[in-house]
Amino acid sequence: MNTASSDNPSVRLTGMADGLRVVLDPKQPIDFLQSELNRLFKPLGHLAINTRVLLDYGEAEEWEGAEEMTAALEGFLKESFGVGTVVRPPKKRREVEEILRHRDMDRSWQNHRSDVLMLTGRVRSGQKVTARKHLLILGDVNPGGEVVAGGDILVIGTLSGTAAAGQPDREDAIVLSLDFRPTQVQIGTIVAAGLPSSPTKQTEYAYVEDNTIVVEDYLEADPFGRLPWPEVR
Amino acid sequence: MSGKIIVITSGKGGVGKTTATACLGASLALLGKRVVVVDMDIGLRNLDVVMGLENRIVFNVVDAVKGKCKLAQAAIKDRRIDKLYLIPASQSDNKNALVPEDMVRFGEKLKQEFDYVLMDCPAGIERGFDNSVAAASEAVVICTPEVASVRDADRVIGLLYARSITPKLIVNRIVPHMVEKGDMLSHEDIVDVLSIDLIGLVEMDDQVVVSTNTGIPLVLQKDSRAGEAFKRIARRMDGNTDLPIQIPQTSGKFWKKIGTKFGLGR
């Protein structure tokens, strides 16, 4: 059986800013590790109580019994020394993943190929505009005009025709217009007809909540204003 | 000589296309232009009655297009207004008697003879519409202040744009006191939706009924407000674009206002 040598012990204990860090060699049997922990924690006495302990298995990659061992050691430490929480170090990401993620948070839109169909002008009665994903119209949709999109529909103008967003089944889509007075709104499979139009021109948007279409003042609701950073939709 | 072919259309029926065609044709002729009005409503001939020329029809537009008669034989000359001609529709055929390609060729012939060719388009957007629009280079859309009419006009405007024709708008049958009360769409509302150039506003006028029944052109009748409005529109169409558009208003508005101030009237 291996014994702890002074320059490379199987269990090491170091202090951290907000707790203790225990580096273990997971290849050792659990009894041995427990006795080593016992040896290291005993001198701490009451200092160990309610501290945060980080279990670090060093170089060892994730292996099958890791969770069991963590649970066993956690139980042991809590019972014997009354430590607070036992955590594992955050999972290390592969370098590629790290780079990707960093860029994502920074400028997720940079490598995004847009599927937005952006049109200017007026969709007249009898005309139908279909977009594979989002649809943006700088202009108006007249009564009798029809706009259909796989994603959101934004009309920078008056929407008085029918709008079908999130076709065929995306219910997180929205329909927004500066002057919102559509004859019919459809989001995913949910249809709302005969929406009462507000007497004044105001920027409103429609979304789905509990299988019904809700229309709200966009500026008051500000549904995307609380996102921490810009995201690709 | 190479004239202009102007189609007068609306999509919806009964908004005053035929009346407008007759009035504009007469007005343009009064301005000294050679004008022919062509009734394209094949099978439902009306324009001849409105113009009071129904008892002089021998040949019709189908005969002229198919080459069964000469153009001069089909074009009936109006006796009251010089330089005004009518090519009537056939009452016995239907719209499929003509195809758009025939009309393009016929249009070329008409352009050689006349300054203005006004096509009275039938209601609807089917073959009759295709035939009327085929040869035209300009279009006038007639719209009344009703939601249904606006929607149909909107559709027609889309179809005209698809043929690279930029139409102009006439709002017909405005009832000023209803607009003031807010019971009728105002011409601003209509222009907002249709967003094309306005070339005239025509008031509701009882004289129109009298004129169409008697066959006396509206523009020859004195004190017909609609007739005057069409005359001004004709001048605008004839290049006098600076002529301001008069907005129909209730008469005696000033005294009525004072009256209502003192609690008289409504």
User: DSSP string covering B47-74, please?
Assistant: HHHHTT-GGG-SS-HHHHHHTSS-HHHH
B150 touches chain A (CB under 8 A): yes
Note whether B155 contacts A122, CB cutoff 8 Å: no
Residues of A in contact with B194 (CB under 8 A): 142
Per the model's pLDDT, the better-predicted residue between A88 and B204 turns out to be B204
3-class DSSP assignment, residue A75: helix
The residues pairing with B35 across neighbouring beta strands, listed in sequence order, are B84, B116
B205, pLDDT greater than 60? yes
Q: Which fold has domain B4-261?
A: Rossmann fold (3.40.50)
Q: Contact, A28 vs A1, CB < 8 A? A: no
CATH no. of A117-221: 2.160.20.70
Per-residue pLDDT band for A4 (boundaries 50, 70, 90) equals: very low
Note whether A125 contacts B147, CB cutoff 8 Å: no
Domain residue spans of chain A = 11-87, 117-221
Per the model's pLDDT, the better-predicted residue between A197 and B113 turns out to be B113
Q: Contact, A181 vs A187, CB < 8 A? A: no
Helix (H) or strand (E) holding B235: helix B225-237
Per-residue pLDDT band for A76 (boundaries 50, 70, 90) equals: confident
Per-residue pLDDT band for A9 (boundaries 50, 70, 90) equals: confident
Per-residue pLDDT band for A23 (boundaries 50, 70, 90) equals: confident
**Residue B139: DSSP 8-state:** E
B93, pLDDT greater than 50? yes
Residue B197, Cβ neighbours under 10 Å: how many? 12
Q: Give percent of chain A above pLDDT 90.
A: 36
The predicted pLDDT at position A115 comes to: 83
**With the C-alpha atoms ordered B244, B248, B252, B253, is the resulting torsion angle positive or negative?**
negative
The predicted pLDDT at position A95 comes to: 72
The predicted pLDDT at position A107 comes to: 66
Give residue-wise pLDDT tens across range A162-217.
999 998 889 999 999 999 999 999 999 999 887 777 778 889 999 999 999 999 99
Residues of B in contact with A124 (CB under 8 A): 154-155, 157-158, 161
Measured in whole angstroms, the distance separating CA A190 from the mean position of its chain's CA atoms is 26
The Cβ-side half-sphere exposure at A176, using a 13 Å CA radius, reads 19
The predicted pLDDT at position A64 comes to: 75
What does DSSP say about strands A128-131 and A146-149: parallel, antiparallel, or unpaired? parallel
Q: How many residues does chain A have?
A: 233
With 0-12 / 13-18 / 19 or more C-beta atoms within 10 angstroms meaning exposed / middle / buried, residue B6 is: buried
The predicted pLDDT at position A150 comes to: 94
d(CA B237, CA B116) in angstroms, rounded, equals 10
The predicted pLDDT at position B112 comes to: 93
d(CA A37, CA A40) in angstroms, rounded, equals 5
| Total H helices, total E strands in chain A | 4, 15
B103, pLDDT greater than 90? yes
* A140 → chain B, closest CA residue: B193
Chain A 129-158, residues with CB within 8 Å of chain B CB atoms: 140, 142-145
Identity of the residue numbered A161: G
Note whether A143 contacts B158, CB cutoff 8 Å: no
The predicted pLDDT at position B1 comes to: 64
A142 to each of A168, B27, B143, B185, B224, how far by Cα in Å? 23, 34, 15, 15, 34
The predicted pLDDT at position A1 comes to: 43
d(CA A56, CA B67) in angstroms, rounded, equals 99
Residue B141 has phi, psi (to 5 degrees) of -105, 125
Note whether B152 contacts A125, CB cutoff 8 Å: yes
The residues pairing with A177 across neighbouring beta strands, listed in sequence order, are A155, A204
B237 to each of B33, B39, B167, B199, B240, how far by Cα in Å? 12, 20, 12, 8, 7
Q: Give percent of chain B above pLDDT 90.
A: 77
B195 touches chain A (CB under 8 A): yes
Per the model's pLDDT, the better-predicted residue between A103 and A35 turns out to be A35
The predicted pLDDT at position B242 comes to: 87
Residues of B in contact with A178 (CB under 8 A): none
Note whether B154 contacts A140, CB cutoff 8 Å: no
Give residue-wise pLDDT tens across range B144-174.
999 999 999 999 999 999 999 999 999 999 9
Identity of the residue numbered B224: S
Q: Which of B155, B194, B195 has the CB atom closest to A126's CB atom?
A: B155
Q: Which of A122, A144, A160 has the CB atom closest to B155's CB atom?
A: A144
Average per-residue pLDDT for chain B: 90
Å from B186 to nearest chain A CA? 17
Give residue-wise pLDDT tens across range A94-103.
777 766 666 5
Per-residue pLDDT band for B260 (boundaries 50, 70, 90) equals: low
Give per-residue burial for B149-174: e unless 16+ CB within 10 Å, then b.
Answer: bbbbbbbbbbbbbeeebebbbbbbbb
Q: Contact, B157 vs B167, CB < 8 A? A: yes
The predicted pLDDT at position B139 comes to: 96
Residues of B in contact with A144 (CB under 8 A): 151, 154-155
The residues pairing with B119 across neighbouring beta strands, listed in sequence order, are B7, B38
Q: What angle do CA A129, A115, A204 make, to 5 degrees?
A: 60
Per-residue pLDDT band for B57 (boundaries 50, 70, 90) equals: very high
Q: Which of B154, B161, B195 has the CB atom closest to A125's CB atom?
A: B154
d(CA B67, CA A18) in angstroms, rounded, equals 101
The Cβ-side half-sphere exposure at A31, using a 13 Å CA radius, reads 2
Q: Supply the ipTM of this predicted assembly.
A: 0.71
**With the C-alpha atoms ordered A26, A29, A35, A39, is the resulting torsion angle positive or negative?**
negative
Chain B 54-93, residues with CB within 8 Å of chain A CB atoms: none
**Residue B90: DSSP 8-state:** P
The residues pairing with A159 across neighbouring beta strands, listed in sequence order, are A141, A180
The predicted pLDDT at position A2 comes to: 45
Q: pTM of the predicted model, to two decimals? A: 0.71
What does DSSP say about strands A190-193 and A184-187: parallel, antiparallel, or unpaired? antiparallel
